[in-house]
Amino acid sequence: MQKWQNRWLKIQQLIAIKARKFLRSFLVWRHKHMTDRQFVILLSILVGFSSGVAAILLKNMVHLIQLLIRSDWVADYQSILYFVYPGIGVLLTVLVVKYIVKKKVRHGIPSTLYAISSKNSRIPLKSTYASLLTSMITVGFGGSVGLEGPTVGSSSAIGSNLAKATRMNYKVTTLMLGCGAAGAMSGIFNAPIAAIVFALEVIMLDLTAASLIPLLMASVSAALTSAFMLGDQSLFSIELTEKFTLGDLPFYILLGILSGMMSVYFNKVFWSIESKFDRIRGRFKRVAIGAIALGLLIFLFPPLYGEGFDSIKQMLNGDANALLQGSLFQEYSDMLWVVMLFLLGVTFMKALATSITIGAGGIGGVFAPSLFMGSVLGFVFAKAVNLLSFIGISEKNFTLVGMGGVIAGILHAPLTALFLIAEITGGYELIIPLMLTAAISFMTSRYYNPHSLYNMLLAKRGELITHDKDKAVLTLMKLQTEVEKDFSRVHPDDTLRQLVNTVSSSRRNIFPVVEEDGSLAGVVLLDDIRQIMFDPNQYDKVLVKELMSSYPTHVSSSDSMDLVMKKFNESGAWNLPVIDNEKYVGFVSKSKLFNAYRKVLRNFSDE
């Protein structure tokens, strides 16, 4: 066995040497024959193609798992296993993460945003497949999450690693992350315009000509890859048969408010469940609790099983009664009020099922659950309005617009929602109600939740990068690299003579007074001792502790740059001490931070 392992290791090393040699030769050729702009476009096409392949591969593998677990050999036990499968999927996912991936798998889109803000857009190579592998198992076994987030995470990792391998800088690497995200969304939904908008709205920071062309190429290449491999198949094939009328506007406004409130509800449930699972010690205990809860929810509401796209299609086809099949309420499927109450329950329970799936250890995204909740909300709302005999509104149109409304509210991405629904319906017939509903939902959601679900965790840690360029640059700066440590220390019990000797050999005008245990007792400013230091009679009479002054405030190496600048502004100081774990580390100066800010800003902005 050891012999074969050694041979395999040698083969791997040989492949790695050959790959590095080829890459060096290619980069030399590239510099001679291609401009940087041409190469970036070539890279974006390659990233888009890879993203399209990743999206298709993941979708097909999920379908394969579903075919296997629904095959004839388990047909006799299908009714029981149907409620057990999601728990099995979460358990297998946890085992894969522990023994194969051997590293925590982050949520796809938040991990991409985290890489941009804190990792110089560098994503580990393992992330190119970790999210795909784990989400494939979770969703394949019926976990109530989506595949869009993991696909975006893996595609962004592909873009990051291609940029790293070809020696690209931070700006281009970030662009390739955006190209991966755009390619993933384009490959999944066959909606290239919405994919570009998603990358700009959720992932990217600036819309410039330099970034737009690569995003276009990545999105188009992913869409063409998907079309080439799947033919005319698409996730949704929708034909609008009823036109939008101005008389429906009040109902779309109301739907926007309801979508926003549903988004707020989803956020509250998600973070509440997440915190509860975080307090449970032992990953397998979390799996057990999650599996039982998820199985119970699916037993009561079977449409919660899986992504939910089949249920969306049934509602769009006007066959909502079919959603009650296999449930305890199946025999009442011909009673409209039972159907509506059941669907309303499904809407609220979807947030719970998605949160439990992720909290228990499953891997997946919230994009598909958002679409599902929006579609059911819009459908139930239209049904309820149509109960009034003097009003008639399109249930299909409100189902579609509801999808856009909840996406806009949960993701804080109204433009993505607008263009996605417009593209999957094959036109812009619903553009006005989509704009209205998405905007109202977004404003309602943002009133209660300043950050989207994706951004909430990063915002709490001060690592959120935003469309505000000043804040984005501050986020990219790290205090640890700006701390100055060449200040001469003095002790509180030192005499003025010792202090004068220290001053004479120092280039600084600030002298930290440090105790034996490393804590900062105060500071001595050169201006404060300028007169007394020329009085030799005081040299052995005056101690440092009599001359030192207190410092206005201090910062920590772990503080966000936004907080550091706030402390500078509030204190009016030009230098602040850095203290970690009650130990003096050094000083940070406002002037040095300004210089670092200008440097990062130059790298951050496009030429």
| CA angle (63, 68, 72) in 5-degree steps | 130
Q: What is the DSSP letter of 191?
A: -
- CA dist 382 and 394 (Å) reads 7
For residue 555, the SS3 value is: strand
Q: Which residue has the higher pLDDT, 205 or 69?
A: 69
Domain containing residue 106: CATH number: 1.10.3080.10
In the chain, the number of structural domains is 4
What is the bridge-based pairing of β-strands 510-514 and 583-589?
unpaired
Residues 331 and 374 in one domain: yes
**Whole-number percent of the chain with pLDDT over 70:** 86
Q: What is the pLDDT of residue 588?
A: 84
For residue 589, the SS3 value is: strand
Q: 171-184 pLDDT, tens per residue?
A: 888 888 889 999 99
- CA dist 1 and 49 (Å) reads 39
Residues 217 and 256 in one domain: no
- CA dist 423 and 55 (Å) reads 18
DSSP strand E in 85-208: where? none
Residues 380 and 479 in one domain: no
Where would I find the H helices in 320-366? 336-359
Q: What is the pLDDT of residue 607?
A: 41
Q: Which of these ranges, 193-202, 327-336, 350-359, 545-554, has the smallest mean pLDDT? A: 327-336
The domain boundary, picked from 408, 436, 461, lies at 461
CA distances from 246 to 131, 186, 257, 417, 529 (A): 44, 32, 18, 21, 78
DSSP bridge partners of 511: 524
Indicate whether 265 belongs to any domain: yes
Q: What is the pLDDT of residue 231?
A: 65
* Whether pLDDT at 485 is above 60: yes
- Which residue bears the tokens 């709205």? 201
Give the closest residue to 86 by CA, choosing from 323, 291, 367: 291
Phi, psi at 584, each rounded to 5°: -70, 135
Indicate whether 169 belongs to any domain: yes
Query: Cβ(394)–Cβ(430) under 8 Å?
Result: no
Give the closest residue to 298 by CA, choosing from 93, 92, 87: 87
Band the pLDDT of 465: cuts 50, 70, 90.
low
Q: Which residue has the higher pLDDT, 532 or 604?
A: 532
CB-side exposure of 165: number of CA atoms within 13 Å? 19
- Please, what sign has the CA dihedral across residues 530, 531, 537, 542? negative
Q: What is the pLDDT of residue 538?
A: 81
Q: Which residue has the higher pLDDT, 269 or 232?
A: 269
Query: Cβ(369)–Cβ(145) under 8 Å?
Result: yes
Residues 343 and 449 in one domain: yes
Phi, psi at 285, each rounded to 5°: -70, -40
Residues 332 and 425 in one domain: yes
* Whether pLDDT at 472 is above 70: no
Residue 7, Cβ density class (10 Å: 0-12 exposed, 13-18 middle, ≥19 buried): exposed
Q: 403-433 pLDDT, tens per residue?
A: 999 999 998 889 999 999 888 877 788 889 9
Residues 501 and 556 in one domain: yes
The domain boundary, picked from 230, 258, 291, lies at 230
Indicate whether 236 belongs to any domain: no
Residues 155 and 206 in one domain: yes
- CA dist 265 and 407 (Å) reads 13
Q: What is the mean pLDDT of the chain?
A: 82
Band the pLDDT of 46: cuts 50, 70, 90.
very high
- Please, what sign has the CA dihedral across residues 370, 373, 377, 378? positive
CA distances from 30 to 22, 27, 161, 173, 267 (A): 12, 5, 18, 17, 47
Residues 165 and 222 in one domain: yes
Q: Which domain holds residue 81?
A: 34-230
Residues 511 and 595 in one domain: yes
Quickly count: other Cβ atoms within 10 Å of residue 319's Cβ: 10
Residues 159 and 39 in one domain: yes
* Whether pLDDT at 603 is above 60: no
- CA dist 358 and 364 (Å) reads 7
Q: What is the DSSP letter of 205?
A: -
Q: What is the pLDDT of residue 207?
A: 61
3-state per-residue secondary structure call for 486-538: CCCCECCCCEHHHHHHHHHCCCCCEEEEECCCCCEEEEEEHHHHCCHHHCHHH
Residues 332 and 370 in one domain: yes
Band the pLDDT of 6: cuts 50, 70, 90.
low
Q: What is the pLDDT of residue 444?
A: 94
Query: Cβ(524)–Cβ(549) under 8 Å?
Result: yes
Indicate whether 467 belongs to any domain: no
Q: What is the pLDDT of residue 47?
A: 93
Q: What type of residue sits at position 158?
A: I
Query: Cβ(354)–Cβ(274) under 8 Å?
Result: no
Indicate whether 520 belongs to any domain: yes
Indicate whether 571 belongs to any domain: yes
Residues 27 and 44 in one domain: no
Query: Cβ(97)–Cβ(134) under 8 Å?
Result: yes
- CA dist 307 and 368 (Å) reads 6
Quickly count: other Cβ atoms within 10 Å of residue 67's Cβ: 10
Domain containing residue 490: CATH number: 3.10.580.10
Q: What is the pLDDT of residue 600?
A: 63
Q: What is the pLDDT of residue 268?
A: 92
Q: What is the DSSP letter of 41?
A: H
Q: Which of these ranges, 338-342, 469-473, 530-534, has the smallest mean pLDDT? A: 469-473
Give the closest residue to 450 by CA, choosing from 441, 463, 459: 459
The domain boundary, picked from 409, 434, 461, lies at 461
Q: Which of these ranges, 352-366, 466-480, 535-549, has the smallest mean pLDDT? A: 466-480
CA distances from 37 to 175, 226, 566 (A): 12, 26, 39
Give the closest residue to 454 by CA, choosing from 350, 372, 358: 358
Q: What is the pLDDT of residue 481?
A: 73
Give the closest residue to 587 by CA, choosing from 496, 529, 508, 527: 508
Q: What is the pLDDT of residue 606?
A: 47
Phi, psi at 146, each rounded to 5°: -110, 170
Which structure tokens are listed for 446?
């943002």
Indicate whether 240 belongs to any domain: no
For residue 169, the SS3 value is: coil
Indicate whether 523 belongs to any domain: yes
* Whether pLDDT at 71 is above 80: no
Q: What is the pLDDT of residue 236?
A: 64
Q: Of 261-275, 496-510, 521-535, which has the strongest mean pLDDT?
A: 261-275
Q: Which of these ranges, 99-108, 357-366, 457-466, 491-500, has the smallest mean pLDDT? A: 457-466
Q: 74-83 pLDDT, tens per residue?
A: 555 555 667 7
